[in-house]
Amino acid sequence: MELSYEGTSFVGWQRQPKGESVQACLEDALCILFRESIAVVGAGRTDAGVHARQLFAHVDLPVKLPEDLIFRLNKLLPKSIAVLALFPVLQESHARFDAISRSYTYIITTKKNPFLEKRAYQFTKNLNIDLMNEAAAILLTHKDFKCFSKSKTDVKTYICDVLKANWERKEHKLIFSIQANRFLRNMVRAVVGTLIEVGLEKVSIDDFKNILASRDRSQAGYSVPAHGLYLINVSYPKHIFAV
């Protein structure tokens, strides 16, 4: 299942005891349509307020799919969630574990814009984008990103393979793009916050290298607000798709 959502009103992807989640909305809609509980497994767990232009999830459905299933699902879902497409996959396929890469963008607006208030981080101080790109390039040569991981996260490894990381300026926006095989919890927002400090020339390139080597979250910069972050792509190997 390919879907997108505007994350402002959600507590994140994952179902929570309190607050509305994207996962819960999908599971509740499927329960209504198929009259039984159906679990939805997502490719990742976006945090509260984070948006997704493309996210995949898998479901095991009990019967042959009606041709108008996408239409019927979208009628039941809130306006901030859209199911875009459905793909048959091999029985053992898994939305999270079979994903080979994920891509995020983070959007900063350098001037006040009421239309971006909940969809971009307003930051009006001057930033040295050349220095930010120099530091971002170092991410591609590094593997252990514990310094950017949320504290007390239960993971077996902090190793990530970053494939792309760069900034570009588009009119009054600064857009950070990053692609990796996996991300740690809160990693992208911590990377962006640290790169902003590089752009403010508070953190030097050597300081940035030392932060990476430290494996210490307290050495890195702040986590930027969630509402500027977008999951934009999840990639899979072709062999998981049923012919």
Residue positions annotated with a catalytic role: 47
> By the 8 A CB rule, do 204 and 213 touch?
no
What percent of the chain is helix, strand and coil (3-state, nearest 5)? Answer: 30, 25, 45
Residue 111 burial by Cβ neighbours in a 10 Å radius (0-12, 13-18, 19+): exposed
Tokens representing residue 241 in the block: 């798709």
Contacts of 232 (CB under 8 A, 6+ apart): 52, 53, 54, 103, 104, 105
Rounded Cα gap, residues 55 and 53, in angstroms: 7
| Dist. CA 57–CA 5, nearest whole Å | 13
Please tell me the distance from the alpha carbon of residue 87 to that of residue 107, in angstroms, as a whole number.
30
Please tell me the total number of residues recorded for the chain in this structure: 243
